[in-house]
Amino acid sequence: MSDDAPPPRPAEVPGPSDFRNPITERELHKALVWACVVVAFVLLWLTWQPLLLIFGGIVFAAMLDGGTRLLGRVLPIGRGLRLTIVCLAVLAFLVGTFWLAGSQLAGQAEALQIVISAQLNRLLGWVHDTGLVPPGAGGVGEIGKQIMGSLGRVTAWVGSALGAVSSMAMIVVIGVFVAIEPRLYERGVAWMLPLEKRADFYVTAEKMGFTLRRLMAGRLLGMAVEGVFTGIFAGIVGIPMAALIGIITGLLAFLPNIGAIVSGVLIVLVGFSAGFDTGIWAIVIYVAVQTIDGYLIVPMVAKRSVDLAPALVLGAQLLFGALFGIMGLALADPMVAMIKVLLERRSINAAEDAEQAGQTG
């Protein structure tokens, strides 16, 4: 071998530009994961409106499914017929309510707005007289805008009448289709998961469905109790616009915590507009109805579904209301319940895996 010959070349190893380099592969994997996370958040933010409509449809489907299952306990007929009966009953209730009381409620709604504005102006004047708020702080309209702004933006697609009607129509259509064949959509989602994850997905989906049905059953029961009893007792003690107040109270009962506060303010303001004694009776009615709902109905439902801390629900309502407007505020409670079920299932699976690893070790 000549002395001028070059030394032998070392064995070639992958360079930084070669994907076979373990370091390059690991860093590319990390970058891909973070890129997917960023893209997912961007897509979530850009598509939050249809996603909320889809989730609202799932919530409505849970209501229909719960009614169908409940009807199956007394009518031994097919699921399709039971679902049809439930849908027709809901439609008949809505049409009958607004057909029989539509003109009366429309007149009461206009009068209610006038009464609330007058009472708030009186309250604001008293606050100005006490010096708690400067006289130049603005009237009821400005304060209302500030309150709505603090709760979050109400976008045009929900805020306008056409947007609200079209959104509700989409939720109803999605809910009906999901309620007709829920297993079909469940299998479709499971098909996108690895085989080893599908069994756990079916268990989690069943638990979520059970929880959502119980939660919505309790919510509907609470709406009925608060709306009916508030309307009846308000009419007995002479509170003006008792029927409209009962309907508004029942609708607001769908929003835990915040709905009760808003309905309570409305009842008290309208009650004191008819006199001091009527205002006191309005307070008594509100406290009695909320006590029945809070200490009888809510615990009875919560112990069979998911027990959510009131502070957690209120915080979620403020957060989702600020981010997504009225729809986020209305669906905050079911969202929190579904997230809690998912986290509980993950915790159970982790505990089972740890136990199996300890036994094999």
63, with CB counted inside 10 A (0-12, 13-18, 19+), is buried
pLDDT digits (tens, 9 = 90+) for 52-97: 889 999 999 999 998 999 888 888 888 889 999 999 998 888 777 7
Residue with tokens 């989602």: 189
Local confidence pLDDT in tens for the 361 residues of the chain: 555 656 666 655 555 555 555 666 777 777 888 888 888 878 877 777 888 889 999 999 999 998 999 888 888 888 889 999 999 998 888 777 777 555 556 666 666 667 777 777 777 776 666 666 555 555 545 544 444 444 444 333 334 445 666 778 888 889 999 998 888 888 888 888 888 888 888 988 898 888 888 888 888 888 888 888 898 998 888 888 888 888 888 888 888 777 888 888 888 888 888 888 888 998 999 888 888 877 677 666 655 556 677 778 788 888 888 887 778 888 888 888 888 888 888 888 888 777 777 776 6
pLDDT at 102: 58
| Amino acid, res. 257 | N
- For the chain, the residue count is 361
The pLDDT, as a whole number, for residue 299 is 65
| Distance separating alpha carbons of residues 213 and 204, to the nearest angstrom | 14
Distance CA 264, CA 294 (A): 14
Q: Rg of the Cα trace of the chain?
A: 28
CA distances (Å), origin 141, targets 121, 138, 148, 253, 293: 10, 8, 11, 25, 32
d(C-alpha 35, C-alpha 47), whole Å: 18
pLDDT score of 151: 41
> How many other β-carbons are positioned within 10 Å of the β-carbon of residue 129?
10
Q: How far apart are CA 87 and CA 91, in angstroms?
A: 6
| pLDDT tens column, 219-250 | 888 888 888 889 899 888 888 888 888 888 88
